[in-house]
Amino acid sequence: MTISVTRHPSPVAWFLAAGMVLFFAVPDGRAQPNGVQHASDFTSVEYFEPPHQQQIKSRLSGAEAQPQAGGLLVIKQLKLETFNENAKPEIIVNAPECVYDTFNRVASSPGHLKAQTGDGKFRVEGDGFLWRQNDSFLTISNHVHTVIENTMK
């Protein structure tokens, strides 16, 4: 089942939106003891503040989200896209799996992560990452490799 959620202008960033989707817009009905249920093929969209409220600021999607104890969500096939106010893609992040802490709004994983700019000219990947939603700060912990394409004058 696919969920699409749009949030008009909201300071709340994508992960919180995703968390709300997963907590309240439950798709496949498997009940969990704490009321949080499994979701699949979800998408969450956040929009800019006015006057760009029609433009998507970020879009988070995942193939699966499994709630865990303590407000944690295990998200599989994570994809995050951010856009600028002209609707140009800025950053695209892909990770096979991560754990999102809905209370602290932090996502992390010991696994692999790939990120690239919208034009694909800056690509980075590595193992183990931490994403802090509050200040939009991404850390890759190990084995970082970057490729930058230069188009010469």
Partner 1 sequence: MKICLAGALALANGGVVRAQTNAAVFAAKATNAVVKAVLPAATNTARVVPPPKPRQMTLISSDSWDFDMTGHKVIYHGHVHVDDPAMKLTCEWLTADLPDSGERMTNIVAITNVVIDFTDDKGQTMHATGERAVYAYGVQDGVTNETVTLTGQPELDSAQGKSTGDVIVWNRTSNHLNISNPKMVFRQNLGGAATGTNLPAATNPPTAAPR
Residues of this chain that bind partner 1 (CB under 8 A): 82, 84, 88, 90-91, 115, 117-119, 121-122, 124, 126, 135-153
What minimum distance in Å lies between the beta carbon of 73 and partner 1?
Answer: 21
DSSP states of 23-92: HHS-SS----TTS---EEEEEEEEEPPTTSTTSEEEEEEEEEEEEETTTEEEEEEEEEEEE-TTS-EEEE
Minimum CB distance to partner 1 smaller for 31 or for 87: 87
Q: In what order do the strands lie in the sheet with 56-68?
A: 3-7, 39-47, 56-68, 72-83, 89-101, 106-117, 122-132
Beta bridge partner(s), residue 83: 89
Nearest-approach distance from CB 82 to partner 1, in angstroms: 7
Which of residues 27 and 118 has its CB atom nearest to partner 1 in the complex? 118
Cβ at position 27, least distance to partner 1 in Å: 29
How far from 20 is each of 23, 33, 84, 118, CA to CA, in Å?
5, 17, 24, 27
The distance of Cα 39 from the centroid of its chain, to the nearest Å, equals 15
Closest distance of CB 16 from partner 1, Å: 16
Q: Which of 28, 119 has the CB closer to partner 1?
A: 119
Q: Which is nearer to partner 1, 29 or 151 (CB)?
A: 151
Structure tokens at 152: 């010469």
CB of 93 to partner 1, least distance (A): 9
For partner 1, the closer of residues 37 and 82 by Cβ is 82
